[in-house]
Amino acid sequence: MKIIFALCLSLCVLGSLQTVAAKNLGKKSKDSKFMKLDADHDARLSLAEFMAGGGTADDFKALDTNHDGYLSEQEFNARKQK
């Protein structure tokens, strides 16, 4: 009986992990444009990285709301709402 319980518990845990993994994969694919543009993998986009993806300097300046010369993922994703 204990073996059956342990097996059922294991299957439930594995099912939960698969659900979480699937949700995380969905997030990553949604943000993949940012990741692809981030050539140096520093979790921010420089003007050069942004323009390499087809963006303009004017768009970069408008999205860089904290004026640090880089776009965070949050700033980059804000372009979708504009």
**Per-residue confidence (pLDDT) for residue 33, from 0 to 100:** 93
Decide if pLDDT at 28 tops 90. no
Q: Read off the pLDDT band of 56 (50, 70, 90).
A: very high
Q: Which two tokens stand for residue 25?
A: 């994969």
Query: In the CATH scheme, what is the homologous superfamily, with its name and number, of domain 31-82?
Result: EF-hand (1.10.238.10)
Decide if pLDDT at 1 tops 90. no
Q: Read off the pLDDT band of 53 (50, 70, 90).
A: very high
> How does DSSP assign the chain, residue by residue?
-HHHHHHHHHHHHHHHHHHHHHHHHHHHHHTHHHHHH-TT-SSSB-HHHHHHTT--HHHHHHH-TT-SSSB-HHHHHGGGT-
pTM for the whole structure: 0.61
Q: Read off the pLDDT band of 9 (50, 70, 90).
A: low
